[in-house]
Each structure stands twice: as C-alpha cells, then as structure tokens.
Structure 1
Amino acid sequence: MSTPLLQVNNLGKSFGGVKAVDGISFDLSPGELLALIGPNGAGKTTTFNMVNGQLRADQGSILLKGQELLGRKPRDIWRQGVGRTFQIAETFASLTVVENVQMALLSHDDLLMSMWRRAANHRRDDALALLDQVGMKAQADRPCNVLAYGDVKRVELAVAMANSPKLLLMDEPTAGMAPKERNELMALTKDLVIQRGMAVLFTEHSMDVVFAYADRMIVLARGRLIAEGKPLEIRDHPKVQEVYFGTGKTFEKSKA
C-alpha cells in the first residue's frame, strides 16, 4: 500500500460537554475514495470541518504529506492542495460556467482582489480544460442560474479542481440528485481520482453510491470510529448493522 496522503490521529472536538468527535484516527492514500458514513449526529461534518480548517480541533493531528494542518486557516489549507465541495452546490449563479472556474483560478493565483482583472480574461483555456474533464465544456458560456442541478454539481467539481488538489473533500456530493445523475457524478469523480492520483474523502447518505464507489469505508457513531474496512466488510459488520438499522437487519433488507 502506498504511503498515506492524509493521516488523522486521535482527532477530537467537544462542544460544551458533548464530544462531537472522540479520538478518531484514519489514513487516506493517493488514488483512493474513502467514505465517511454514520447516522445523523455521528460527527461526520465536524470531522470534515476540522480537516478543512473551519473548526479548530481540541486534540489530535491532521497530517497532509507529513505537514500539520491543525491551526491553519481554510485558505492556507486550500493552498496546500485540499479542495472541497458542499452538500448544497456553491457557484456564482449570475456568472457563466467558465467564469466560475476562472474565479477559482484567480483565487489560486492570488489575484482575486485585483479588481481590474475580469474573470473572463484570466486563464480561459485552463478553465475550459477543467470543464472538459467534468463534461461541461459545451456549456461554458451559459450562466449557472439556467443549469440543471446535476450540471451545477459538475461545475462545482471543476471549481474544486482549480487548485489541483491532492485531497478532495466531498460533503454529500449526490444530495438532491436523481439516481442516474448520482452515478454519473461519482463515476466521473472516480475517473478523476485515477487520472490525477488524488484522494477523496466523502460523506454520503445514499448507501448504493457508497457501496458502488468507495474503496474503503469508515463508520462513526456518537463521535467514535466503530468500524473501518472495505465495503463488503462494513456491510456485514454487526456493530454497523446495529447502529444503522437495529439488531438483525441488513443493508440489503433496508432497501426493500
């Protein structure tokens, strides 16, 4: 197995007397999709926000290629090669598809505050190349506010790729999407992981997506890591079955 890109060790965060994340540890290697799952309140979003720098951890360590991320601001972490997509896609609705990506490139090049530079004049060819990778080049000059939601998600993915991320965090990437759109987006993500040799950590409530595309899974419950392994191992794990469905039920039965 390759050297881990991301190493999370004894990570913890409390809010008042509640331990939202309680000493979890896991690794993530290049070329790997790791699903972070668990019931509501398990600590998934808190974990994401600590890796991304939006929350400061109370304890532990987060290493990206051996460099500590704890204590750094989200923008600094982004510059280290960590991208992120959100449960509700975030794009500039009034800008065109290509201008959204160009804005991300301006930010990457530390030119976002240079108001005399319009997004439309900045690295258009590079922006189009990113859109081509996500299947949106043909719609480059359309405003984002006329796109179907699945296409907005693709634009968001292109924006997230603007800093050539080593690690991509995807928070509920298929939320609000139809089954066909979900599978197309995750298949595209898997292709990008292979092509770029990056790693993806994603949360997801759709178990069909998780089992179809995750290389490994980690399961949280009440802030603690209760299981880790390949999808088939997690599917048959008794503690996971109990936490999700109650004793005696299975993932397969839950789909009926």
Structure 2
Amino acid sequence: MSLMQVSNLGKSFGGVKAVDGISFELRAGELLALIGPNGAGKSTTFNMVNGQLKADAGSILFDGKELVGLKPREIWRLSVSRTFQIAETFASLTVVENVQMALLSADHRLFSMWRKAAAYKRDEALGLLEQVGMAAQADRPCSVLAYGDVKRVELAIAMANKPKLLLMDEPTAGMAPRERNDLMALTKKLVTERNMAVLFTEHSMDVVFAYADRMIVLARGRLIAEGKPHEIRDDPKVQEVYFGSGKTFEKLKKSREVA
C-alpha cells in the first residue's frame, strides 16, 4: 500500500509551467529517486511535497492526509523529515546538542537559544548519533567537523522526528565518492530498519543506480518515465531527453558488468 500518492501536481511561475500534472506513488520501505536535467521541475516538486511551495493544482496525500496548503512545520509534525543540499546544523552547538534541539522540536517543546538543551533526552540523542556513526564526536562543536560528518549529523537530526517519510535534497552534494556511498548505504540501512520511505533528488548517477529502488524522471515539468533502475537505464526516451546519446547509462551498465 502506498504511503504517499501525488496526483496531477502542478505549479507555474508566471507563464511557465515548472511542474505540469505529474503523478507518482511512494511506498514505505522504499527509496525513490527523483531525477531529471536542469529545469526539469525536480526542486519545485520536492519543495511542494515539503510545503515550501504551494501547489497550484493537484494533491499530495501522505498517510491519508492532504499536504497541499500545509506549512513545512505542520508537515514536519506529520513525521516528514528533510535534509538539505547544503547541510543545515547549528555550527555553534555541539553535535549532541543539535540532535537534542531536534528532539525538542519533535516533542513540540519550547526552547531558548540562550539556554542549552544539555539535559533533554541526551541518551536518546546519543542513540541516534550511534546509528549514524557519530556518537564518538557527540561533544564536539559542529563547526569543527568534516563535511561528510556534518551530513551524518544532519541525518541524525532528521531521524529525531521518527519520520515515516524522509526527503533528501541532493544528499551527497559536495562529498567524495567514498563518503557518498557510505552515507547512502547508511540511509538504505535505516530505511530497512525503520520501514520508512525516502524521496531523494540526486545528480550523481552512480548513487542513484546503486541505491534507488525505483526512479521517476522529469523533463520540462512532466514525468517521462518511471520504473526500476534497469528499466530507466534502458528507456530510449530517457536516454534521448535526459542523457542525449545515452553514454552515461552505457558507462554505468558496463561498470556493473565488470563488477
């Protein structure tokens, strides 16, 4: 059964249709990649699901609730978390305090930026950091972390909300190849353990083909293909519209044959 159903979603800016009547579904326990060339409508779609943009038309049903018209904080409280292309953490706080702040928000508790959250659910925060391999750095300020480690902290922050759906915007942007694979392997593990759904955008095709269960492809605001990675790789329309000659897919195919 689908956790989220997107139906005839549309968004225009002036006379330009950034998203033009797209529909797709997402199931619990599934990583769904949203890909397409620049200007395809990926970010607009992503931001409508998250509530940062309001759809002009269509519906986004999540766990039986309509998301269109809700604010990002209201969507967060429905157990929808998000990570960003540029990792979002409080640099002046420690790693564990960042996660504790997220736990405060998830519990609808008020907090003060001038009063440390050091006593609030520290053990639970440490448990989340353990899951992402950051417990040993819990008391270090985020400002001194390597970028790959900041991404792991951001993932722990997202997990504080006990998400049924995790939205990941370019999760591996700015990361080295090994860091990219480590982060996505960790995400895949969490998806399995928690039976949550993940919708992610990504430009690194090696990451997409290695970790996505299914893919949807946009071009000029419209959905042009949907299916499993091998189906998308071999789709002539995707190769023509998105990759031109299809050489990227052929390279990926050959690399898997060698492996």
Q: TM-score, normalised by structure 1?
A: 0.96
* Cα deviation, residue 106, structure 1: 1.0
Find the aligned partners of 2:126 and 2:248 in 1 and give their Cα distance.
45
How far did residue 249 of structure 1 move? 3.9
Q: Deviations over 1:169-227 (max 9, x none)?
A: 00000000000000000000000000000000000000000000000000000100000
Q: Distance in 2 between matches of 1:116 and 1:152?
A: 22
Distance 1:100 1:236, change over 3 A: same
Q: Is the 8 A contact 2:84 2:170 kept in 1?
A: yes
CA contact (8 A) 2:219 2:242 kept: no
Q: CA deviation at 1:117?
A: 5.5
Alignment of 1:1-256 (within 5 A): 3-113=1-111, 118-247=116-245, 249-253=247-251
CA distance in 2 between counterparts of 1:69 and 1:187 reads 29
Instruction: Give 1:116 deviation, angstroms.
Output: 7.9
Q: Size of the alignment, in residue pairs?
A: 254
1:118 Cα deviation (Å)?
2.7
Show structure 1 runs of 4+ deviating over 6 A.
Answer: none
Alpha-carbon shift at residue 114 of structure 1 (Å): 5.2
Q: Take 2:133 and 2:143, find their aligned partners in 1: how far apart are those partners?
A: 18
Tell me if the contact between 1:54 and 1:74 (Cα under 8 Å) persists in the aligned partners: yes
Q: Is the 8 A contact 1:87 1:175 kept in 2?
A: yes
Deviation of the 1:245 alpha carbon: 2.5
Counting aligned pairs with the same residue, the percent is 82
Q: What RMSD, in angstroms, separates the aligned Cα atoms of the two structures?
A: 1.5
2 CA distance for matches of 1:248 and 1:185? Answer: 27
**Structure 1 unaligned blocks of 5 or more:** none
Q: Distance in 1 between matches of 2:19 and 2:140?
A: 42
Contact 1:103 1:112 in 2 (8 A): no
Name the CA shift for 1:161/1:123 in 2 (closer, same or farther; >3 Å). same
Amino acid of the structure 1 residue aligned with 2:193? Q
1:108 Cα offset (Å): 1.3
Q: Extract unaligned runs of 5+ from structure 2.
A: none
- SS of residue paired to 2:104: helix
TM-score (norm 2): 0.95
The answer as to whether partners of 1:235 and 1:250 remain within 8 angstroms in 2 is: no
Letter in 1 for 2:145: L
Paired letter, 1:189 = T
